[in-house]
């Protein structure tokens, strides 16, 4: 009787045939997997991802491209509406590759967004775009060089050889995160083979985004160009260089000064005459003397600091 009743229900269209009932869980699992993959890749909501998959009949590639296009359009619209809102938070991003190093500042409205993976990915893209630009400019150097990039120059950089513009990546991030963001500044330093670039980032946040290359991120950053008097073991040079860059972050000098400068007081702004951050019993110049390390120049960024933009060089 039960088998007859089930057959009648099926014939009446009130119950799916057995083979369709068995296939449904597999189809549902496949749809759910595609939905999860698309959400991981775009960071957009389930509702938007489901809409895109339905629109393109499950084609992940087309769905992802369409979602990014819509997010970018929404980002430009939001960027216009949010323009003028203060962006005092954000991150400093730093990357050193051989005799070239870059440092950027990207700002947002809240520390909550600065900790978000999508914002950190944006910072990485800005760092890599700046490095790509720098590598195309700094070749066969015979002397030390330093350049600054202003916001409008930064926005026009590409993320890589075949990448989009940084301004479009920022619009995409604004569309996804809903906060005002700004590409505030960037600096790049390049030195000849007999020199070294020391670097340090302080106040780093837990990385939410997978690290790209060796991009370091934090609230403060410093690059210091220096020249050893004679060949120095790389491990020793890295250690001394890190301490030197730490000093720049902590003591915020305004100029390098001279090794002959007399030790200054607490308000001293000449780097070599300042009390060494890691050993108050000596000046930085006195610490460097046994190493035979000459400081050529430095760059220091503090996220959100009130300062005039340095002139492009």
How do residues 204-232 score in pLDDT, each as one tens digit? 766 565 555 589 999 999 999 999 988 77
Clarify whether residues 192 and 288 are in a common domain: yes
What's the structural domain count of the chain?
2
Q: Where in the sequence is the domain holding 128, given as residue range(s)?
A: 89-302
Clarify whether residues 19 and 58 are in a common domain: yes
**What pTM was computed for the model?**
0.75
CA-based R_g, the chain, Å: 27
CATH code for the domain in which residue 31 is found: 1.10.8.10
Residue at which a domain ends, from 56, 82, 108:
82
Clarify whether residues 20 and 128 are in a common domain: no
pLDDT on residue 75: 63
Alpha carbon distance 263, 44 (integer Å):
56
Mean pLDDT value of segment 236-242: 92
Above 80 in pLDDT, residue 108? yes
Q: Tokens in use for 5?
A: 């009743």
Report yes or no: 292 and 196 within 8 Å, Cβ to Cβ. Answer: no
Clarify whether residues 255 and 145 are in a common domain: yes
Mean pLDDT value of segment 71-83: 64
Clarify whether residues 170 and 186 are in a common domain: yes
Clarify whether residues 162 and 298 are in a common domain: yes
Report yes or no: 223 and 101 within 8 Å, Cβ to Cβ. Answer: yes
Lowest mean pLDDT among 26-30, 158-162, 182-186: 26-30
- Residue percentage of the chain with pLDDT more than 90: 46
Above 60 in pLDDT, residue 159? yes
Q: Is residue 71 part of a domain?
A: yes
Q: Is residue 188 part of a domain?
A: yes
pLDDT mean across residues, the chain = 82
Clarify whether residues 158 and 220 are in a common domain: yes
pLDDT on residue 207: 57
Mean pLDDT value of segment 123-147: 84
CATH code for the domain in which residue 262 is found: 3.30.479.20
Clarify whether residues 114 and 233 are in a common domain: yes
Confidence of residue 18 (pLDDT cuts 50, 70, 90): very low
Alpha helices in the chain (DSSP H): 2-11, 18-42, 46-55, 60-82, 111-114, 117-135, 151-155, 166-177, 234-251, 284-288
Mean pLDDT value of segment 290-295: 92
Above 80 in pLDDT, residue 287? yes
Surface-to-core class of residue 83, CB atoms within 10 Å of its CB (0-12 exposed, 13-18 middle, 19+ buried): exposed
DSSP character at residue 272: G
Above 60 in pLDDT, residue 302? yes
């Amino acid at each position: 009787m039960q088998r007859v009743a089930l057959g009648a229900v099926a014939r009446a269209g009130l119950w799916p045939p057995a083979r369709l009932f068995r296939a449904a869980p597999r189809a549902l699992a496949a749809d759910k997997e595609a939905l999860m993959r698309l959400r991981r890749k775009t960071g957009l909501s389930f509702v938007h991802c489901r809409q895109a998959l339905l629109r393109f009949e499950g084609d992940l590639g087309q769905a992802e491209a369409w979602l990014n296009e819509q997010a970018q359009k929404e980002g430009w619209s939001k960027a216009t509406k949010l323009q003028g809102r203060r962006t005092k938070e954000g991150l400093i991003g730093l990357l050193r590759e051989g005799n070239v190093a870059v440092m950027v500042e990207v700002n947002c409205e809240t520390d909550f967004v600065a900790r978000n993976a999508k914002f950190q990915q944006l910072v990485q893209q800005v760092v890599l775009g700046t490095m790509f630009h720098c590598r195309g400019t700094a070749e066969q150097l015979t002397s030390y060089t330093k350049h600054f990039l202003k916001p409008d120059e930064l926005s026009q950089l590409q993320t890589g050889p075949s990448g989009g513009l940084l301004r479009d990546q920022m619009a995409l991030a604004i569309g996804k995160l809903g906060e005002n963001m700004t590409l505030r500044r960037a600096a790049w330093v390049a030195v000849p083979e007999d020199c070294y670039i020391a670097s340090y980032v302080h106040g780093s946040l837990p990385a939410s985004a997978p690290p790209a290359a060796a991009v370091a991120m934090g609230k403060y950053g410093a690059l210091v160009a220096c020249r050893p008097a004679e060949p120095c073991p790389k491990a020793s040079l890295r250690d001394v260089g890190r301490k030197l860059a730490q000093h720049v972050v902590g003591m915020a000098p305004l100029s390098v000064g001279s090794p002959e400068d007399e030790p200054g007081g607490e308000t001293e702004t000449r780097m070599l005459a300042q009390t060494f951050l890691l050993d108050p019993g000596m000046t930085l110049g006195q610490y460097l003397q046994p190493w035979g390390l000459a400081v050529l120049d430095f760059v220091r960024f503090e996220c959100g600091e009130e300062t005039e933009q340095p002139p492009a060089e």
